[in-house]
Amino acid sequence: MHKVVRKEQLNKEICLVEFEARDISASAKAGQFVILRVDETGERFPLTLYDWDSEKGTVTVVCQAVGVSTKKLCALDKGGSILDAAGPLGHAVGTKGLGKVICIGGGVGTAEACPIARAMKTGGNDVTGIIGARTKDLVICEDEMRKFCDKVYVMTDDGSYGRKGFVTDILRELLEEGHYHLVFAIGPVIMMKMVSGMTKPRSVRTLVSLNSIMIDGTGMCGGCRILYNEEPKFVCVDGPEFDGHLVDFDDLMRRQERYKGKEKAALDRYDEHCRIGLGRSLGDE
């Protein structure tokens, strides 16, 4: 059991949870993730590490409540507990001696960009941050990004905060104004595709984090298979960070569309089971 020591609601959809996990905190690095199971009837699901403290023996994740298991996690309060936590998993991001770096976070991806920006800055790089969200209410982790970045730009789709537009708007301006050695992007797949398409003609190295498509987290389910440089890779064991210029985003988005229908059908079955009192989880079916 892993005791929850801190819980914050960042907005109506997204929560922050810090919990005890001494073994994980002792070896965690930027870009890695953990697999959680909230209770005995819950599913296993992966979340990127937001922060960790080896002295306290805790790790922190940021979670968007979109499904049964993530809603269970966000429903926990301080003093509650998480049944299982495994990690750290995935490959860490190299951060030293890179030069001028742009870290881009879209939506909940901003929280996942924070440890990358922190590690990049600690590694001696010049770091610029770009945050994107649909509206002002959905902007998260701005203060944290400002701690680690030399400059931060905030973009909202509706212009309710920061500048109106998309992260690619300010990225285009920055690339036209000067040379950058690396762009790191994490967020919606379409956003990462557009970022990679913008940097490729300029030969700017680009890393994208594809953790949002992971399911099992161990390479066994095959749900996170991608085409990478025309070869199959699994995000959870081969990533989760990849060269954005080599990812087949069109294939990835086609796969996502297929899974959306399957996911909705699975959730509908779960809801029906709950109504008839079986109390079974998707993982038990």
Using alpha carbons, select from 74, 87, 77 the residue that is nearest to residue 3.
77
For residue 253, the surrounding DSSP H or E stretch is: helix 249-275
Which fold would CATH assign to domain 2-89?
A: Elongation Factor Tu (Ef-tu); domain 3 (2.40.30)
CA distance 184 to 210: 12
Q: How confident is the prediction along the chain (285 residues), in pLDDT tens digits per residue?
A: 899 999 999 988 899 999 999 999 999 999 999 999 999 888 888 999 999 999 999 999 999 988 888 999 999 999 999 999 998 998 888 777 789 999 999 999 999 999 999 999 999 999 999 999 999 999 999 999 999 999 999 999 999 999 999 999 999 999 999 899 999 999 999 999 999 999 999 999 999 999 878 877 777 777 788 899 999 998 888 888 999 999 999 998 887 776 555 444 443 443 444 334 434 433 443
What is the pTM for the complete model shown? 0.83
Three-class DSSP labels, 103-154: EEEECCHHHHHHHHHHHHHHCCCEEEEEEEECCHHHCCCHHHHHHHCCEEEE
Which residues belong to CATH 3.40.50.80 in the chain? 100-253
Which tokens hold the place of 78?
């301080």
Listed in order, the ranges of the chain carrying CATH 2.40.30.10 are: 2-89
CATH of domain 100-253: 3.40.50.80
Query: DSSP string of 167-220?
Result: HHHHHHHHHHHS--SEEEEES-HHHHHHHHHHHGGGT-EEEEE-GGG-SSSSSS
